[in-house]
Amino acid sequence: MATQGTSAVEASVRKALVPVWALSGTLVVSVFFFPSLVGSVVTRRSLLVATLLFFGSGLAYVALLPLDIDDADGADARRTVPYLLRARHLGPVGTLRDLLARGRGFLARQDPVTFGVPVAAFTLFFAARLGAPARTQAAVDAVESVLLQEFGWLFLGATFIAVLFCLFLLVGPWGEVKLGGPEAEPAYTYPTYFAMFFTAGIAAGIVFWGPAEALFHYETPPPFLDAEARSSGVVVGSLTYALFHYGFSAWSAYLVVGIPIAYFAYQRGAPLRVATILTPFLGVDGLDSYWGKLVDVLAIFATIGGIATSIALVGQQFLAGIDYQWGVAYGPLGPVLFVAGLTLVAVVSAQSGVQRGIRRLSGVGVALFGLFVLLMIGVGPRSAVVETGTAAVGTYLREFVPMSLYLGEGWVAGEWLANWTVWNWSWWFSWAPFAGLFLAALSRGRRVRTVVLTGGVATTAATFVWFLLLGGTSLSLQHSGTVDILAAMEPYATPEAVAGFPLFAALPLGQLLTFLFLALIVVFIVTSADTSTLVVAILTTRRELAPTTGSIVFWGGLQGVVAVAVLLVGGSDALQAAAVLTGGPFAVLSLVALAGLTATFRRHERGHPSPIGRLRAAIGKRTIAGPSEVLREDD
């Protein structure tokens, strides 16, 4: 029986984190919930530092707790987890030696293409940003404009096909395919399985945009709605579009990448790589070709670019919200320190492994999410939320196909579509490589139908609950004139960052809601960053080797360096746009993957019963003999 996390270094770190967490937590709780007693003594800047220390030290401590791997989730973790997302843990001294060693160390284990090309690309990008910032921005903007406006139909079509394919897997016979074979058993309980994928795939975007997106549509209505701004007629449609952009369509982008990877990895012996989606065309051995490596390079660039810019933006948004709430002027160094702290916690979580840090922090995120939802149900305008939310869900179901295929008429409609729906689909497809691969790694022993139910239906339901509560409440307060949230958002460069704070100030238990809101921001971005770090480490390590702790530290650190560079050098818009541009290739690759998977299913997965077929068989067994049979018996 083996136990992870028993090294002297980790034990010392855990002991050091306990007093930091306890002291900072005492200060934060005192100021948040007893401001009249402590608020006059503690400065606002001290409160910000204490809050970040409380969140960071607590998450790091949870990630570093020891674990008996035989008892994890009641599964034989030694048999399944190393195969899914294996990594070699070297310890702090071994990791340092690995990073500094020559010949047989860190660099010798990296694939020269998947490792070298992304590192060179990011180096060249920031060199160009420093040397010719205007030209760099203009070039990226031009390519992005062409892709999102001229090829918007590609993203709309690919997303809609992904939805149709996932729906077919839910009701068709191929949903019965068990990944890993009939004898394979899941490595994780179902709640853990859902929690890890949900928190990895959603990041902090859901937290910020929950109270904000519907308000944006309320102020500037989507052309599809044909309604007046800030009118009663636009309220339901505004919430409907927020649900649409974060609903089943969005999560389907992850599924159409993750399911092909999972199937070919577990049923055909392909490696756990994004390039595995090309197995029907290249064969397992052909995945090491330049075509396969090109797919992995695009996946790495999209992952690092997407996560790094998200960390940078979350840092700015978090502190913008703090500035709005408490008037803390943090200066240019504040976001850098915040990003450094997030990166450190993400690296600690990633290097501790899936069973320790990633699994536990996912559980923390879902628990906080659930607590926040319960509080919002208790203190929010329930009748207004239920009324608007019910109408929005009904409109979503009724208008889903027209919204999915809406191309816009005229320049204004086309511009809105490119800036919202097409951009969102591109962003989800750019995250699909790492989220899809992680979903595939977790899904061994699950049926394909269960994967779709979890990665598409359950995640959509959880996202809907968040947007219905936060978006419905913000619309209710804004439209009724209780709070002018839009006016509070207007002065800020990232207005979505402050939308939640005036909302919570107007509700009972506003301080507690604000505290949990800030905690969710930190937890969700960390749970995406630690997962992406592990995935990139796998993609850049030579196929026959497992990534070491040194690889995880390197790529986690690089994500942090890129995020800091975005803050110091600028170019967040350009880098984010460049990362989003990878959504175009993956929208196309998703269609290729579905074509290959469909052909493989038709060839090798015949004879599986569908739910409809089972229902028909059950009805047939329960019905009495028909007249012809009765007459035949009488004869």
Which pLDDT score is estimated for 542? Answer: 86
Q: Are 467 and 289 in contact (CB under 8 A)?
A: no
How far is the first Cα of the chain from the last one, in angstroms, to the nearest whole number? 71
Q: Are 434 and 531 in contact (CB under 8 A)?
A: yes
Q: Could you give the CA distance from residue 524 to residue 199 in angstroms, rounded to a whole number?
A: 6
Per-residue tokens: 292: 């396969």
Nearest Cα residue to 304 out of 614, 617, 532, 62: 532
Cβ-proximal residues to 255 (8 Å cutoff; 6+ apart), any chain = 162, 166, 436, 439, 451, 452, 455, 456
The owner of tokens 């960071």 is: 56
Q: Could you give the CA distance from residue 77 to residue 70 in angstroms, rounded to a whole number?
A: 6
Instruction: Tell me 188's DSSP state.
Output: S
Per-residue tokens: 385: 């939320």
CATH for the stretch 69-606: 1.20.1740
pTM metric for this prediction: 0.91
Q: Could you give the CA distance from residue 497 to residue 212 in angstroms, rounded to a whole number?
A: 8
Pairing of strands 67-68, 3-4: antiparallel
Which pLDDT score is estimated for 332? Answer: 72
**Angle between helical axes of 44-64 and 333-352 (0-180°, round to 10):** 10
* Dihedral-angle region of residue 292 (phi above 0 means left; psi in -120 to 50 means alpha; beta otherwise): alpha
Which pLDDT score is estimated for 493? Answer: 78
Count CA within 13 A, CB hemisphere, residue 6: 6
Which sign, positive or negative, has the C-alpha torsion 265, 270, 271, 272? negative
Nearest Cα residue to 317 out of 53, 555, 517: 517
Q: Could you give the CA distance from residue 214 to residue 28 in angstroms, rounded to a whole number?
A: 31
Which sign, positive or negative, has the C-alpha torsion 225, 227, 232, 238? positive
Which pLDDT score is estimated for 375? Answer: 96
Instruction: Tell me 221's DSSP state.
Output: -
Three-state SS letters, 84-128? HHCCECCHHHHHHHHHHCCCCCCHHHECHHHHHHHHHHHHHHHHH
Burial class (CB in 10 A: 0-12, 13-18, 19+), 436: buried
Q: Could you give the CA distance from residue 488 to residue 91 in angstroms, rounded to a whole number?
A: 49
Q: Could you give the CA distance from residue 616 to residue 608 in angstroms, rounded to a whole number?
A: 14
Backbone φ and ψ for 610, nearest 5 degrees, come out as -100, 160
State which amino acid sits at residue 536.
Answer: V
Which sign, positive or negative, has the C-alpha torsion 262, 263, 268, 273? negative
Which pLDDT score is estimated for 171? Answer: 93
Mean pLDDT for back-to-back runs of 10 residues, the chain (635 residues) = 70 92 87 63 72 91 82 43 53 58 70 92 88 86 86 95 97 94 91 95 85 96 94 96 97 97 94 95 93 94 85 79 72 81 91 88 96 96 96 98 92 90 93 94 95 97 97 96 94 86 93 89 92 91 81 90 81 68 90 97 86 75 51 40
Q: Could you give the CA distance from residue 320 to residue 483 in angstroms, rounded to a whole number?
A: 19
Q: Could you give the CA distance from residue 96 to residue 549 in angstroms, rounded to a whole number?
A: 9
Which pLDDT score is estimated for 92? Answer: 58
How big is the chain, counted in residues? 635
Backbone φ and ψ for 582, nearest 5 degrees, come out as -70, -15
Q: Are 358 and 531 in contact (CB under 8 A)?
A: yes
Give the DSSP H or E segment for 240. Answer: helix 232-246
The owner of tokens 């049926």 is: 447
